[in-house]
Chains A and B, each alone.
Chain A
């Protein structure tokens, strides 16, 4: 019985942290996204060098063959540094989809390229957890038509994985005839979101899918978004405490006022148990399949709530400065706000948690 991270996991997290410490400073990130949402190829190739891009790709395809718990730990660090790279679609959802439903040939075609960091994959799952504006993708004669919104991943992704209204996963290639991509611009320019409009687009079915391939992808995606919030919110708490120990008013550090201390204590008290919840949700995905869906829903919903509380409270501790662009605190604030809605907001996923437990 051991509910803790292993030495190897801590070392891996540490190596990603060290890599990002001076390469993904706030100033760097600010510069990278100055012109709008971006997936940064430079940081990506650096992460590829650490073996991070192929974390979930089996060793036979050139990856590390690790678990969602490992990937979650990486995402926590990416959230902490608000890194503009599309790790979730390319390195988590795409390998999991290919492993669950891809043919041997499809795996051979795409997994090694993903593992080496040579290929970006976008993933559209939004319609599986709440179609907006009448979106949805239908299949007729092996061709896809319709619309996919809030597709996660780089604008220049080589392929996009989409779920059809029947619950199958299809891959469409960039530049395919009848495919039109528009970038959606959210509050958070560190994450790329797209809209795909499809008119009889040639697509490859990932045929070996079992019934729950899309729900499993949602579980994984939700755990990863929760991990991203965990890292971002932890950073916002630390920034709030640090600021309160520099800023003086009434001839005192504001961090010596109980009004400020208690706000920080509340953030810590809310956030610390979240760490264990996200660990367990990732572990359940890997090792306790019967609990996977429930725990993913709870991790996503709870981190969304606690993340929102920490984001606004940390901003308040920073006072007027927290509200400015100068300090840049809003990058974390917006990342948390964006993650909250992706792949289902808290009310939606809690409703799923009720169904999973047979309550309704």
Chain B
């Protein structure tokens, strides 16, 4: 147990701090995951040049080309958070497609798509879930049939964030309808401008349209836009899902949120008394603080395991389940602490924190469900982590997908 950073890392931390301070005027305004602004693209280029984003991606694909160094990556993340500086692009293209292409893409695909994705020139969306294929993703039915050199795609995707702005989609389609269901899927890349694609915004309980539905009617896509082999899409997609699950449940987000609630309870009053004086609210806050700390130290343990190349086992499997639930409970406490002020929303007078607590409380429920529901996570923990058996298949179930 040694939590100190050695001198070269201390120096690296200092360099990151100096860089952020020196270039403060170039910080772009915080943007959503949609189309990046010109300022954001310039910032992204500068960060790549410094090796503060796309750090380990080879230079020939538009990355920095550094050696993997988990501690440096961690220091970069910590210092950007501490300074409140915007990080590099983090949409689904950068965080999910790029790692997938590096692992499974052809040389031509890597050379063509990775640089354009990293620079922010091309924005991606992800076409995985369907109305009938959520937790059971392998039952997806969007069909791609052969027609000469092309596939003709028909079907529907849902939960497609940024689809209305995206230039391209990475999409799972069924190309071999007669194969066993996990072996009949292919992973395609195609333009969202292709005729026959219709995007409809999907408004959620938050009042915003964070997602879309995407409809495909006779969408013609060249067959060479496939990643991996025909019928291999499930393995390619799992490479991507692994990257997504790693993103959900980050304990540092919970820690930031906890600090905001501490401040809120110090400043806000009820009957003229600080909320922090209320022993019931305070006890809830402390219970959540225990959980946040436990997840942060669990994160340090995972980091060390990653550096040592060790399998962290259950410690990793629980992060999505526990982290998302924790964030949800933190938002719930903030709302309860604010009481009637906590129910204000939209553009109401007396609104606190721009309504973020209610929005988070609702959106976090979406994160508990999305990216593998809490129930699917518990199946994974019990089956992979604890070695318990899978639910037996009903005797009459048919094997292949229809």
Contact = CB atoms under 8 A, between A and B. Distances in A.
A5 B318 CA distance: 21
Contacts of B308: 4
Contact of B290 (A272, A283, A298): A298
Number of chain A interface residues as a range: 35 or more
Interface string B378-394: 11011101111111100
Interface string A253-270: 101111011101110111
Given A269-B318, A276-B294, A277-B294, A256 B391 contact: yes
Interface in A321-360: 347, 350-351, 353-354, 359-360
A319 to B, nearest CB: 16
B291 interface: yes
Given A252-B392, A277-B297, A69 B1 contact: yes
A279 B1 CA distance: 9
Interface in B68-116: 71
A359 B1 contact: no
A13 to B, nearest CB: 14
Nearest to A280: B297
A280 B298 CA distance: 10
A302 interface: yes
Given A261-B382, A277-B294, A302-B290, A4 B304 contact: yes
Given A283-B3, A353-B286, A359 B303 contact: no
Contacts of B389: 245, 253, 255-256
A268 B9 contact: no
A6 interface: yes
Contacts of B286: 298, 301, 350, 353-354
B300 interface: yes
Contacts of B138: none
Interface string B271-311: 00000110100110011011101110110110111011000
Contact of B386 (A69, A258, A265, A350): A265
Given A4-B1, A276-B298, A359-B282, A350 B287 contact: yes
B321 interface: yes
Looking at B293, B379, B385, B391, the one whose CB has the most chain A CB atoms below 10 A away is B293
A268 B381 contact: yes
Interface residues of B, number: 53
A354 B389 CA distance: 43
Given A279-B1, A302-B294, A262 B378 contact: yes
A241 interface: yes
Interface in A281-318: 283, 287-288, 295, 298, 301-302, 305
Contacts of A86: none
B2 interface: yes
Contacts of B6: 1
A160 interface: no
Interface string B1-38: 11111100100000000000000000000000000000
Contacts of A280: 293, 297, 300
Given A1-B304, A2-B304, A268-B385, A273 B1 contact: no
B219 interface: no
B266 A359 contact: yes
A282 to B, nearest CB: 8
B69 to A, nearest CB: 11
A269 B282 contact: no
A288 B391 CA distance: 47
Interface string B204-229: 00000000000000000000000000
A91 interface: no
B67 to A, nearest CB: 17
A244 B294 contact: no
Contacts of B304: 1-4
Contacts of B291: 273, 302
A305 B390 CA distance: 30
A280 B379 CA distance: 29
Contact of B322 (A3, A262, A273, A283): A273
A266 B380 CA distance: 11
Nearest to B313: A272
A262 B383 contact: no
A229 interface: no
A34 to B, nearest CB: 34
A276 B297 contact: yes
Contact of B277 (A262, A270, A350, A360): A360
A274 interface: yes
A270 to B, nearest CB: 8
Nearest to B289: A298
B314 A268 contact: yes
A360 B282 contact: yes
A241 B297 contact: no
Nearest to A258: B391
Contacts of B4: 1
A206 to B, nearest CB: 29
A61 to B, nearest CB: 25
A245 B290 contact: no
A250 to B, nearest CB: 11
B388 A305 contact: no
Contacts of B59: none
30 contacts: A1-B4, A1-B5, A3-B301, A255-B388, A256-B390, A258-B375, A261-B388, A265-B378, A265-B381, A265-B382, A268-B381, A269-B381, A273-B322, A275-B315, A276-B294, A277-B293, A279-B1, A279-B297, A279-B301, A280-B300, A288-B3, A298-B290, A301-B286, A302-B287, A347-B283, A350-B290, A351-B279, A353-B286, A353-B289, A359-B262
Given A245-B389, A256-B390, A258-B375, 13 more contacts: A2-B307, A3-B303, A4-B305, A255-B388, A257-B391, A264-B382, A265-B386, A273-B315, A275-B315, A276-B301, A288-B3, A302-B291, A359-B266
